[in-house]
């Protein structure tokens, strides 16, 4: 199935690493004019070296005023991928209130009921990004999770990116308000 985003403008947050980076590159390969947002300049520099048609924006999305200023000249956006996230590799009960607030200020979910705007959510299981490998590279730990996934493995970055591309494309133009698991059947069990 061929997907083209020629003539479309895309904004991808969390575009420095992992799923966001792969999504920004895939959108550019499919013809979109991509604005890549991340908080680490070095990640943006290497991304632009890989694909010089991508417009980099370095800003920490947790800073609302800085984000508004950094994105004020981006112009109209056709495709938005809100991918910014961070992981805390510690037990949940050890997360401090400040850390908890940070997690939710970065990745805010909103469902918009506006005419002609489709809002969908991609909800993957463990994805073998650099971050995923950090948390799940221990075979004994991974076995407890993969044993509960009917396909018997964690998601790869391209599994998630392909789902994102499909949902952004006209191939899914009647798909709206969906929270789509990309989990190898984990939730089905």
Q: What is the CA radius of gyration of the chain?
A: 17
- Domains detected in the chain: 9-188 (3.40.50.720)
The pLDDT of residue 116: 78
Q: From the CB of residue 112, how many other CB atoms can be counted at a distance below 10 Å?
A: 9
The pLDDT of residue 92: 59
The pLDDT of residue 175: 93
The pLDDT of residue 109: 41
The pLDDT of residue 105: 37
CA–chain centroid gap for 175, Å, is 18
The pLDDT of residue 107: 37
The pLDDT of residue 108: 35
The pLDDT of residue 97: 67
pLDDT in tens, the chain (189 residues): 799 999 999 999 999 999 999 999 999 999 999 999 999 999 999 999 999 999 999 999 888 899 999 999 999 999 999 998 766 666 656 767 666 555 443 333 434 444 678 889 999 999 999 989 988 999 999 999 999 999 999 999 999 999 999 999 999 999 998 999 999 999 998
Quick one: which H or E segment has residue 139?
Answer: helix 139-146
Q: What is the pTM of this model?
A: 0.86
d(CA 86, CA 103): 7
């Amino acid at each position: 199935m061929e997907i083209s985003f020629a003539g479309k403008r895309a904004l991808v947050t969390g575009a420095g690493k992992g799923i966001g980076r792969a999504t920004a590159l895939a959108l550019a390969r499919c013809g979109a004019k991509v604005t890549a947002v991340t908080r680490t300049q070095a990640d943006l520099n290497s991304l632009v070296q890989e694909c010089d048609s991508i417009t980099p924006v370095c800003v920490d999305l947790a800073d609302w005023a800085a984000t508004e200023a950094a994105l004020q000249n981006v112009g109209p956006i056709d495709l938005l991928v809100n991918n910014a996230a961070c992981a805390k590799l510690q037990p949940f009960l050890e997360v401090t209130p400040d850390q908890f607030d940070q997690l939710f200020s970065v990745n805010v979910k909103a469902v918009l009921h506006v005419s002609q705007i489709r809002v969908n959510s991609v909800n993957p299981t463990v994805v073998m990004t650099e971050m995923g490998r950090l948390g799940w590279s221990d075979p004994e730990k991974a076995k407890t999770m993969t044993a509960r996934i009917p396909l018997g493995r964690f998601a790869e970055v391209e599994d998630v990116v392909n789902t994102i591309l499909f949902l952004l494309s006209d191939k899914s133009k009647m798909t709206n308000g969906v929270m789509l698991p990309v989990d190898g059947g984990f939730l089905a069990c």
